[in-house]
Chains A and B, each alone.
Chain A
């Protein structure tokens, strides 16, 4: 009995070694890292937005929305503040939408800073293509959009409180938003 158990243990160990060997060879053959289906559970793709590239997208978007929230909080109550509160609500919904899109990116082309097997070192952006690249471009566009909105909100707030010349701000906002891609 003990002998059988020893044999079973030996076979499992052998399989483990072989898989590791196959993974090392695959890391050289497959350009995008070790295929997900060849990894151990510990190196499996992170769920939701993962821990790498797609999470960084969401973090940058969140920071931008927070920047807008801070600017709005400094606007005194009034008609302008009312309008900006409405804008803030839309920004929150928009952030949710972009987060869902980032989640699709992670599902399609997972990138995690918690594993070395995905072909990128932590903090490094993967070289994407196809739909994953399109989603990446979409999120970059979204960041440009939200940044322009946050900058506009800051200037409108300053114009509202008399810190900046409203006419100048009006021109500046028009110029900033002109460059912005569709939301």
Chain B
């Protein structure tokens, strides 16, 4: 099974209140350990946080997943999912036709980075206290596996640390995705046509009409080409 298939098998429950699937995936201890070469990862935490000097407000507005200093793995992926909600919102709004509804959604957009700001703070705190989630961080896995006495990877707990911070971040992500979902629903329904022609009734009537015409001895096979009205040509 490929990594993608593994990911696919874990139901992405991004949009429903029950996001258990993502939680399960995050704490799944049985996931194959295909961590990248830790040698390249060791000592690189500063590089991931190297953009934190950028204006935080700008990074939040752009939903830049790399700007927050949240290390590898669990916390970054979770924070990035929060950023994804804002990017999805932007893409959804871009699909909408010009009009009052679209303008209103554009007006609401500046409020989203404030929510993302909370996610940044929580994720940063969590990453500082529990760097990347020990069971996911290739740097820690490498260090633990190199212990001369015992492979200490076996001793780490099988669930992400600190449920409080994790739950808080899940909650913010939930809120952000709810906004994106609502925008998506609006963009969808604005394309629907409540006055759509009842095509099925039309075709049903047409089929009945052909049968009735046949029964009456009149054949609607067609006009004689020579008698075809000018308007048809």
Enumerate chain A interface residues (CB-CB to B < 8 A). Answer: 11, 14-15, 17-22, 24-33, 35-38, 45, 75-81, 83-84, 87, 90-91, 94, 97, 100-101, 103-104, 106-110, 116, 119-121, 124, 126-135, 138, 145, 148-149, 152-153, 155-156, 159-162, 166-167, 169-170, 173-174, 177, 180, 183
Contact = CB atoms under 8 A, between A and B. Distances in A.
A28 B220 contact: no
Contacts of B36: 20-21, 24-25
Interface string B12-48: 1111100001100110000110111000110010011
28 contacts: A25-B73, A25-B76, A26-B80, A27-B3, A27-B4, A28-B6, A28-B7, A28-B32, A28-B136, A29-B25, A30-B22, A38-B76, A76-B221, A78-B222, A100-B191, A101-B191, A106-B91, A107-B88, A116-B4, A128-B12, A130-B15, A130-B16, A135-B188, A160-B221, A160-B222, A166-B207, A167-B211, A183-B196
Contacts of A24: 34-36
A79 B219 CA distance: 10
Contacts of A155: 207
Interface of B is mostly: helix
Contact of B202 (A17, A87, A131, A170): A87
A183 B200 CA distance: 9
Given A30-B81, A170-B208, A104 B221 contact: no
Given A129-B12, A166-B211, A180-B200, A25 B35 contact: yes
A78 B44 contact: no
Interface stretch (B99-107, B144-152, B177-185): B177-185
B44 A17 contact: yes
A15 B50 contact: yes
A169 B208 CA distance: 8
Interface residues of B, number: 87
Contacts of A124: 8
Given A78-B223, A149-B199, A30 B77 contact: yes
Contacts of B63: 37
A18 B25 contact: no
Contacts of A91: 199
Given A135-B188, A161-B221, A108 B180 contact: yes
Contacts of A177: 200, 203-204
Nearest to A174: B204
Contacts of B22: 30-31
Nearest to A158: B210
B83 interface: yes
B7 to A, nearest CB: 4
A175 to B, nearest CB: 10
Given A120-B8, A131-B184, A107 B138 contact: no
Nearest to B91: A107
Given A30-B25, A155-B207, 7 more contacts: A15-B50, A30-B77, A119-B7, A120-B8, A127-B8, A130-B181, A131-B181
B95 interface: yes
A81 B222 contact: yes
B64 interface: yes
Contacts of B137: 25
Contact of A18 (B41, B92, B95): B41
A15 B5 CA distance: 28
B16 to A, nearest CB: 5
B7 A37 contact: no
Interface string B41-76: 100100110100000000000011110000011101
A168 B187 CA distance: 42
B184 A107 contact: yes
B87 interface: yes
